[in-house]
Amino acid sequence: MDFRYWDFPESNGEPNPVTPQPLILASRSPRRQHLLTQIGLHYTCIPSDVDEVLDETVGPEDHVAILAERKARDVAQRQQEGIVVGADTIVVLDGDIIEKPETGDDAVRMLERLSNRRHEVFTAYSLVEVPSGRTLTRCERTEVWFRTLAREEILSYVQSGSPMDKAGAYGIQDDFGAVFVRKIVGDFYNVMGLPLCSFYCSYKSFTRQGPEIDGCTVA
């Protein structure tokens, strides 16, 4: 797990104490909304209008980190105060980024590719403080193994409509999609769209409610 950067504009590199501020989620994802509620955070949901365009010139970690930060900054520029959270998730198989399906046929093809294979899920989140612009962006990676999927299972799942708003055309938390996954290595919640342990520690440190993140002291 790796920090991209801390940013303290107009502070000569010296962080200032942070007073808890309103939390704003720059996402339409019901899964991310559920996860923030799960860890007891109160927030307002203001979705970003940023286009999720694939940048083939950068690796998957940079791709999700850039998009997560763009989403957070897009919403932050319209706020008077608060901490804005942006996030992005992608699935990577054989070096190819697999995003959300556009059609049912897309979803079928994606699931057929993932069948009996190992793939990676990358989720990045970005915290942007308003009005200071102080920013933290971090990316997490989880490995996922699918069992062999029968075509009938794939078709039935796609017909349910559940895969259509999800990277890789599946949700590990879905009633049926959950039985596709044989094994994971990494954070389960990262596959859902927000790595809870990492995010929680980052949020606590960002708001000066906790002194350390994974053993790294933050002044």
161-182 pLDDT, tens digit per residue, is 999 989 999 999 987 888 999 9
Cβ neighbours around 41 below 10 Å, total: 14
Name the residue type at position 80: Q
Domain boundaries, the chain: 2-217
- Provide the pLDDT confidence category of residue 126 given band limits of 50, 70 and 90: very high
The first and second tokens of residue 75, run together, are 């919403």
Residue range 38-48, pLDDT digits in tens: 999 999 999 99
**What pLDDT sits at residue 46?**
97
Average pLDDT over residues 43-70: 90
Q: 3-class secondary structure for the chain?
A: CEEEEEECCCCCCCCCCCCCCCEEECCCCHHHHHHHHHCCCCCEECCCCCCCCCCCCCCHHHHHHHHHHHHHHHHHCCCCCEEEEEEEEEEEECCEEECCCCCHHHHHHHHHHHCCCEEEEEEEEEEEEECCCCEEEEEEEEEEEECCCCHHHHHHHHHCCHHHHCHHHCCCCCCCHHHHEEEEECCHHHHHCCCHHHHHHHHHHHCCCCCEECCEECC
Say what the pTM is: 0.85
- State how far the Cα of 89 lies from the Cα of 67, in Å rounded to an integer: 9
**What pLDDT sits at residue 17?**
45
Catalytic residues: 88
The residue with tokens 């504009």 is: 9
The dihedral sign for the CA sequence 205, 126, 100, 160: positive
Chain centroid to CA 69: how far?
A: 11
The candidate with the shortest Cα–Cα distance to 90, out of 141, 130, 151, is 141
Architecture (CATH level 2) of domain 2-217: Alpha-Beta Complex (3.90)
